[in-house]
Structure 1
């Protein structure tokens, strides 16, 4: 489908639309969609196009590497993730993807399912009816333990309090830089935020290096992601370097911890406001599990649980933005795109488009019933990206979210305090304020 770009909102000299974007990125993208399916705007001095039609979004997602370059995502993003599979390009990206992908294939994820439910059951045993909790803290703490055990085995047991705060600083710093003018500052410019981030990354680096060195010294081969990274060999028989192992370990940690913990927080928020959906969840878990712990083989028998997660990912996608940069001779919708133009799409905006999702702000897991899913166009729902650069950990994240929700919801309703909780954009889409709740028995 060919669409002619239309002008977006008024721009400022040099800054373009950056002030409006920085104030409210999600609202800004929603307003851009109101201008049309293909909208011209400026991210600071850079010319940009905002894409709303699934066909165009699909071209962007599947065209990274061929039609479009992977974008520069800022100094903070690069400092945290390094040259991992998310940030690298060309032959380096293809090599790293080939090395990392076997660690998160479905067969490997199946092996991590028991760890996921064990960690969730430990949390459930510590909860008590009537107890007051901060849901985000509980979910991030839980997914952190899962990430530590599946990534590092027991090597970091009891040290989550070292890694966790450093990761929190990192994700906030990335979001703060991306929304502000510091995105355009050269790396040598020092700011208080950049200094905090450097200290946090130093903590992360030391911990990953400690575990990696210990594993090599002991010569152990465990059933975890780090062992698979250490054993990986490319086509020339070369292993990953220590720096590459560090970058991939941090990438997998963030993917297995931050994004899933955030998704589960929003899922509890939505269930607390939709008692009918919560009651149906309780019935499904009772009928299928009968009080026992869920396992990987139960996933196909828990469609409503999975639909809750998919609908949560629609309304509150942890990754809320995808971008690319046009190469020479790039096209979009059959039309040429000037080299250097930024192409932007937002899961937040696309997932709330009434053309593809009627009553888009409503929480309706039934949208994902087996006989209704075909009505959603390809690339209208893309919480894990798409194409060859789709998130490698997507299967891990879905299995983790479903099994954790099933384990905890068997025993408890999480009644979140009244009042809307707006999202805050960082590396992921986090609640802007504490998510406080009272625990109640599920039955």
Structure 2
């Protein structure tokens, strides 16, 4: 183990590198790579370490819980997600992960595939050639309907307009806090945004409690995530409490709605700028499906569709930044890391590193051909994190994105308007302006 200082960019007194980070977080982390694979910087007075090499990133991802702890993600984040599996630590996290994980295992995700394609097909039937649309609004509306149906089933029929807008307010508030000064304000200080968020969370709490109460009273088991959460038991045969079910349901909703909807938005944007990739997608869908709706068993017949999603996640990872706070005797790459140091890695930066992805700015789904992808180091591509705290819904998200893209692309091209759309950072990586396009029949 070495204590040799690691390089880093110049920094200001007290502020450190905060101004450069705040102006352009994505560019800042990309520039940090130029200082080396382990880079020291300061977020204000806070000592920080930035990682670029995949093996170092792997140490961070696999060391959460043992050598690193999660940072606080803000008042809004905690209010919305409560004490769910994402925000918990230690024994509480291990218990909740064991209870929630069975609900999103591959066998269970298979059962949700029909809902995904049904919702996508319903949307496609409402589209018309020549129609102008806001692509992000369409994709978020679709993934919202899928999230509500897979979570709560028929008990929310006709009430999506109640829980959906409240969830949208909650997600926007988390992103706004992450980008703004409210992240540093004390929890007791009221602001107009916080009051609006409290009202939205009250709506979410009432709706989840209503559906949970209906299901508990009926005792009926259904093929949705809520039923699986209600049936879950830990090693002491204890079920999740109503509050725990609420927290996990909200966590699963947010994880399965905005991130997948945004990924699909970026996929349409990238395909509009790559006619060759779009034509190959059309050929694959024609050959594999012959006009019928895709199902879970068809995933193996749609490798190019999956490669499009993987390449989209490389270029525009919804979760673009991860961090952990060093505990006692933490190390990375053989370097001792002082207790309290915040260790960062960025999917945006790592995914655009030319050492692992030649011509990294180019959209090339062929990077994920089996023989080429095998050469990509572990943890060079990590849109769902990694280690024991990897996203539980990763399989759900991939299946949903592939099936939705296949269902819609069978019938339509979405020709996104010309012009670059840079991403905007918040809790997730979003388009910085509306993504507008025109529908064209296949």
User: Could you tell me how far apart the structure 2 residues matched to 1:159 and 1:388 are?
Assistant: 35
Return the offset for 1:22.
Answer: 2.2
Q: Which residue of 2 aligns with 1:324?
A: 324
Return the offset for 1:21.
Answer: 1.9
User: Could you tell me how far apart the structure 1 residues matched to 2:37 and 2:133 are?
Assistant: 42
The 5-angstrom pairing of residues 161-172 of structure 1 reads 161-172=161-172
Q: Which residue of 1 aligns with 2:415?
A: 415
- Structure 1: tracts of 5 or more residues without a match: none
Q: 1:241 to 1:405 in 2, by over 3 A?
A: same
SS in 2 for 1:155: helix
Q: Which residue of 2 aligns with 1:261?
A: 261
Q: 1:307 to 1:5 in 2, by over 3 A?
A: farther
Q: Which residue of 2 aligns with 1:433?
A: 433
Normalising by the residue count of structure 1, what TM-score does the alignment of the two structures yield? 0.97
Return the offset for 1:264.
Answer: 0.4
Worse-matched range after superposition: 163-172 or 100-109: 163-172
Return the offset for 1:211.
Answer: 1.2
Q: Is the 8 A contact 1:171 1:426 kept in 2?
A: no
SS in 2 for 1:437: strand
Q: Which residue of 2 aligns with 1:245?
A: 245
User: Could you tell me how far apart the structure 1 residues matched to 2:15 and 2:141 are?
Assistant: 39
Normalising by the residue count of structure 2, what TM-score does the alignment of the two structures yield? 0.97
Q: Deviations over 1:210-251 (max 9, x none)?
A: 211121122221110001101111111111111111110001
Q: 1:84 to 1:379 in 2, by over 3 A?
A: same
Q: Is the 8 A contact 2:120 2:407 kept in 1?
A: yes
Q: Is the 8 A contact 2:171 2:254 kept in 1?
A: no
Match status 1:212 vs 2:212: yes
User: Could you tell me how far apart the structure 2 residues matched to 1:306 and 1:148 are?
Assistant: 24
Q: 1:91 to 1:77 in 2, by over 3 A?
A: same
Q: Which residue of 1 aligns with 2:307?
A: 307
Match status 1:179 vs 2:197: no
User: Could you tell me how far apart the structure 2 residues matched to 1:94 and 1:149 are?
Assistant: 27
Worse-matched range after superposition: 44-53 or 12-21: 12-21
SS in 2 for 1:325: strand
Return the offset for 1:429.
Answer: 1.0
SS in 1 for 2:210: helix
Q: 1:73 to 1:383 in 2, by over 3 A?
A: same
Return the offset for 1:4.
Answer: 5.7
Q: Which residue of 2 aligns with 1:272?
A: 272
Q: Which residue of 2 aligns with 1:382?
A: 382
Q: Is the 8 A contact 1:6 1:35 kept in 2?
A: no
Q: Which residue of 2 aligns with 1:291?
A: 291
Q: Deviations over 1:351-375 (max 9, x none)?
A: 0111110100000000000111111
Match status 1:234 vs 2:256: no
The 5-angstrom pairing of residues 133-148 of structure 1 reads 133-148=133-148
Q: Deviations over 1:23-43 (max 9, x none)?
A: 222122112222221111122
SS in 1 for 2:245: helix
User: Could you tell me how far apart the structure 2 residues matched to 1:46 and 1:163 are?
Assistant: 38
RMSD (Å) for aligned C-alpha atoms: 1.5
SS in 2 for 1:84: coil
Return the offset for 1:291.
Answer: 0.2
Return the offset for 1:92.
Answer: 0.3
Q: Is the 8 A contact 1:321 1:345 kept in 2?
A: yes
- Structure 2: tracts of 5 or more residues without a match: none
User: Could you tell me how far apart the structure 2 residues matched to 1:267 and 1:331 are?
Assistant: 38
Worse-matched range after superposition: 386-395 or 185-194: 185-194
User: Could you tell me how far apart the structure 2 residues matched to 1:181 and 1:141 are?
Assistant: 29
Q: Is the 8 A contact 1:85 1:248 kept in 2?
A: yes
Match status 1:150 vs 2:150: yes
Q: Which residue of 2 aligns with 1:9?
A: 9
Q: 1:258 to 1:81 in 2, by over 3 A?
A: same
Return the offset for 1:127.
Answer: 0.6
User: Could you tell me how far apart the structure 2 residues matched to 1:219 and 1:428 are?
Assistant: 37
Q: 1:39 to 1:64 in 2, by over 3 A?
A: same
Q: Which residue of 2 aligns with 1:61?
A: 61
SS in 1 for 2:439: strand
Q: Is the 8 A contact 1:4 1:38 kept in 2?
A: no
The 5-angstrom pairing of residues 366-405 of structure 1 reads 366-405=366-405
The 5-angstrom pairing of residues 108-127 of structure 1 reads 108-127=108-127
Q: 1:111 to 1:3 in 2, by over 3 A?
A: farther
